[in-house]
Amino acid sequence: MSVFVTGTDTGVGKTAFTAWLLERLREEGLRGAGYKPICCGDRHDAELLLAASAPGLTISEINPIWLQTPAAPLTAALQEKRTIDLPALRDGFVRLRNDFDFVVVEGVGGWIVPITTDYFSSDLAADLQLPVIIVAHNRLGCLNHILLTARSIETAGLKCAGIVLNNLGESGDLASATNADILRRCLPIPVLENFDLQSTTIPQPLREMLR
C-alpha cells in the first residue's frame, strides 16, 4: 500500500494531505512512512511528514536531498552548483518500502517539474511504479490542470488512483461546486471533494484510491 502524491501546482495542499493520510493509517494500526525525496527552500514539508510517520525515522530518511534555494529542483541545483543524485532518490524509497507497511511519496511541485534537464517528477513516479493520487486546489481553472495531469499519468503507463479536491478554506462558487461532478463524468476514477483536514476517518473515495 504505497502511493505517489502529486499536485496540479505548488501550494495546493499536497503536504497537508500526505501528513493527514499517514496519521489516519497509523491510527488503523499500520506502520507508515512519508517520503519527500526532494525539498527546495526550507524543510518544513519533510518535518511534517516525519512527525506523521511511524517512530524511529530521521529527517534524512524522509528527505534525502535538501536544496536550500526555494525554486524548482533543477533551478535550485544549478544555483547551488550541485548534482542531484537520482539513484539516492530511488534507493531511499526502497529502504522505506522494505521496512514499513506503506509509504506515501510526496512529489515536488507538479507532475512535470524538472529535477534534471532530462528527468522529471513524473519519471521518479514511473521508476517507483506507484499509483498516483492528484491533489488540486478546487477552483476555477483546475479542470484543465487535473485532466492534463491525469492524461500524462496514464501516458506514462501508471495508474491514476484518484483525485483529491482541496478547498483550502475558500467559499464556493459555481466552478468549485461542480468540479467534482465534471471530473467524475470525464474520468472513471474516484474523486474526493471537500477534503477536510479535521476529519478523523478516511472517506470511502479515498479508500478506493488506496486499493
Quick check: 122 pLDDT over 70? Answer: yes
> What's the whole-model pTM score?
0.95
62, three cell numbers: 524522509
Residue 39 and residue 63 in contact, taking contact as beta carbons nearer than 8 Å: yes
How confident is the model over 18-33, as pLDDT tens digits?
999 999 999 999 999 9
Residues 83-111 have a mean pLDDT of 96
Using the structure block, give the residue that is written with the C-alpha cell 461542480: 178
Catalytic residues: 36
For the chain, the structural domain boundaries read 8-130, 133-140+150-211
**3-class SS of residue 172:** coil
**Nearest C-alpha neighbor of 104 from the set 122, 125, 126, 87:** 125
CA distances to 23, 42, 91 from 58, rounded to whole Å, are 17, 16, 15
Quick check: 94 pLDDT over 90? Answer: yes
Rg (CA), the chain: 16
CA distance 206 to 20: 12
Quick check: 168 pLDDT over 80? Answer: no
103, three cell numbers: 509509504
- Per-residue pLDDT band for 167 (boundaries 50, 70, 90) equals confident
CATH T-level topology, domain 8-130: Rossmann fold (3.40.50)
Torsions phi, psi for 34 (to 5 deg): -85, 150
CA distances to 10, 27, 161, 206 from 188, rounded to whole Å, are 25, 30, 10, 14
CA distance 186 to 137: 18
Q: What angle do CA 175, 205, 38 make, to 5 degrees?
A: 80
Confidence at residue 173, expressed as pLDDT on a 0 to 100 scale: 83
Confidence at residue 211, expressed as pLDDT on a 0 to 100 scale: 87
Q: Return all residues near 36 (Cβ < 8 A) that are at least 6 apart.
A: 15, 45, 46, 49, 62, 63, 105, 106, 108
Q: Return all residues near 145 (Cβ < 8 A) that are at least 6 apart.
A: 8, 9, 110, 136
